[in-house]
Structure 1
């Protein structure tokens, strides 16, 4: 699996979440570009990201969206 430098690499929907994943401002910018100011990291989602090796950032968006819709009910 190719290493991603999470601080500077271009992140898009196809970016593979690697075992080197870090929650960075670059990652936050990616999610904010998808969800706007509604996006917030929480501990549970950060843990999910740490365990999502092999999935894509599109998968992460679906997961965040699913969690977000459950908390709005």
Structure 2
């Protein structure tokens, strides 16, 4: 799996979540674009991200949206 600079790389739906994943402003911008301005990191979702190596950022956005529907 290639290294992703979570601070600088362009994050796309197909970007793979790597072992070096970080919650950065760049990542937050991606999620706000995909999930809306109400996007916020919470502890459970941050843990999910850490445990999701190999999934895509599209998978992550869908997971966040699904969690919001369940609230």
The TM tier, using the shorter chain, reads over 0.9
Number of corresponding residues: 71
In structure 1, runs of 5+ residues without a counterpart are none
Over the aligned positions, Cα root-mean-square deviation in angstroms equals: 0.6
TM superposition score normalised by structure 2 = 0.97
**Structure 2 CA distance, aligned partners of 1:68 and 1:60?**
13
In structure 2, runs of 5+ residues without a counterpart are none
Per residue, is there more helix in 1 or in 2?
1
For residues 1-73 of structure 1, the aligned pairs below 5 Å read 1-71=1-71
